[in-house]
A and B are shown apart, each in its own frame.
Chain A
Amino acid sequence: MTDHVAAPPVIRSGGDIAPRPRRLKEHSILPGFGLSLGITLVYLALIVILPLAALALRPWEIGLDGVWRTLTDERVAAALKISFGLSLLAALTNAPLGLLIAWTLTRYEFPGRRIMDALVDLPFALPTAVAGIALTALYAPNGPLGAMAAKIGLKTAYSPLGIFIALVFIGLPFVVRSIQPVLEDLDRGVEEAAQTLGATDLQRIAYVVIPALGPAILSGVSLAFARAVGEYGSVIFIAGNMPLKTEIAPLLIVIKLEQYDYAGAAAIGLAMLAISFGALVVMNVLQIALARRGRA
């Protein structure tokens, strides 16, 4: 036995003992890691990274100075403020409304529930320009809802309120569809436990249901926010597009492009990208923190 144990290591042609290769990842029993990662990287590069890299490079043609001047231009700053401010407001508005709709769809049985469930997806499916024209027709000063709002002194279409309405419309399904499956899977026993412990219906929802839905609500809100920031079609009809007042950043980009100011357009785009990315990172971190609390 002993002479076998002492057998010398096989010497390769190079003379060195091949070192154990350093692994970049834990060995997985599932085959196909290399192939899957390769396809993922190529796909991401073509669809996401390359266009974004081009966007990131383009503005510097006009120099740091030019970029700074473009972004500090009164009209651009106002458009960015309107886009991000109203997008956030619309996404946050959709949180309680989306929760209520998801609740109604999962917790109650009533005729037409399935049809209502399908209706929620319509803002996904409709070409946004069609939605924009429909909303404008409704909310314009001579439209049925716009006329009613005008009576109480509210200007809906051609005002920031109009932009807000359009952004709520396109963001709603993101919130509902994020919350709904989690709500469906929520253990009823947990709510029953809260009831037997003396919680009122409101306390049960506030302390038990909503915290359990927290990560889902946040994820729906960030999706709706991201979508709203980039929204163009549905907004431009209802917005009125008055510079400094109701002009959104994506529209300003289109205007710059039409003026062959590619670098200026790219500068605004890059600014939007940076702000959106920052906002999404914050929301994701929050969401992970929320989700971890209950799992760890």
Chain B
Amino acid sequence: MSFRPAASTDEALALEIRGVSKQYGRFPALKNVSLQARDREFLALLGPSGSGKTTLLRVLAGLEEPDAGEVRFGGEDFLALPVRQRKVGMVFQHYALFRHMTVAQNIAFGLTVRKRSEKPSRSEIADRVADLLSLVQMEDLGKRFPAQLSGGQRQRVALARALAIEPRMLLLDEPFGALDAQVRRELRRWLRELHDRAGVTTVFVTHDQEEALDLADRVAILKDGELIQLGKPNEVYEHPATPFVFDFLGQSCRLPGMVDGGRLRVADWETAAPAGAPQGAVEVFFRPDEVDFAPADGAGLVAQIQGIARRGPDVRIDCLVEGATMELQAHGPSLPTGVTSGLPVRIRPQRPQLYPAG
């Protein structure tokens, strides 16, 4: 069975969002957001709560109407279509299953509500439900009610229900938000495989940066209703556009510095400034685990080690740098050479990111 939507001739662009704004009373939820998704792309909308990511998803589904802007899908004006004609498969954080229906009835719902002329026969519906049940690995559970399932199973049913209508686009609103960490990771892998097999353009909302970076083809980072950065996971991780993105994508350390004539100076340490660095006073950001250690008489920033704590596979190193406490990280069982509690070492960030100060 194929879950491919009706073949789209435009391979390049499936979804085009242009200048979408939405206001709730006086609170702007979306400010002039524009972005595109290619056919069969897996796009993650990432941001803290209140960033507008869920509002954008609901605009795509037709559950919210934007105040301004344009949404096109496969060249068609999507905003002109009512929700039920958009054929998008939506998966909600709290599953939103029909409690009074069995799993099989839930999955069949989108087919049974079709107009008589478009409705598959009873046996076709049964076959399709069986196929979907096996796709979500729940072959034997079709007769159960949602209340008799675990959270992970419920979300798989919700996904099967959304796929049953052969959606043109799959929209997922924090689908794993209510599940525990172990189940989340399993479902994440599985969802990606499912997407690759089904080949549906997918937009995925999450506030978990690890999830977004792990799953998506491209990540859109939103803050306060604005699109801050859009790119492949490794691009945005390695070159965050703003200090906010740097902070949001992982743990960060920061120090004030100065760029002058291609040289970066932080306290008494001087090194070549990375290409494209801003001139003048800068904020130097780096990841706590992307640091080289050197002996106290070597080159780098002086760090006074204050404490060393093992945390599972990692080692946390608390130190004092330029009068401020800093938390560094090293991987693996052995400590970097020369790192001893109470003694100074020199540290050099491997890939400092520079942003204009202020």
Contacts and interface: CB of A to CB of B under 8 A. Distances in A.
Given A192-B63, A296-B147, A296-B148, A198 B100 contact: no
Of the four ranges (under 10, 10 to 19, 20 to 34, 35 or more), the interface on chain A belongs to 20 to 34
Interface stretch (B79-87, B180-188, B257-265, B328-336): B79-87
Given A212-B99, A212-B100, A196 B90 contact: yes
B103 interface: no
Contacts of B90: 192-193, 196
Contact of B96 (A193, A199, A214): A193
Interface in B63-106: 63, 83-90, 92, 94, 96-101
Given A212-B99, A294-B147, A193 B113 contact: no
B83 A195 contact: yes
B165 A197 contact: yes
Interface in A182-221: 187, 189-190, 192-200, 203, 207-208, 211-212, 214
Contacts of A25: none
A22 interface: no
A20 interface: no
B293 interface: no
B237 to A, nearest CB: 32
B282 interface: no
Nearest to A201: B84
A208 B101 CA distance: 9
- A contacts with B: majority SS: helix
B238 to A, nearest CB: 36
A293 interface: yes
A196 B113 contact: no
A192 B99 contact: no
B148 A195 contact: no
A295 interface: yes
A119 B84 CA distance: 37
Interface string A228-257: 000000000000000000000000000000
A198 B84 contact: yes
B109 interface: yes
Interface of B: 61-63, 83-90, 92, 94, 96-101, 109-110, 113-114, 145-148, 158, 161-162, 164-165
19 contacts: A189-B92, A189-B94, A192-B61, A193-B92, A193-B97, A193-B158, A193-B161, A194-B109, A196-B83, A197-B161, A197-B162, A197-B164, A198-B113, A199-B113, A207-B109, A207-B113, A211-B101, A214-B100, A294-B145
Given A193-B158, A293-B100, 12 more contacts: A187-B94, A187-B96, A190-B96, A193-B90, A196-B84, A198-B85, A198-B113, A200-B84, A200-B113, A207-B109, A207-B113, A212-B100
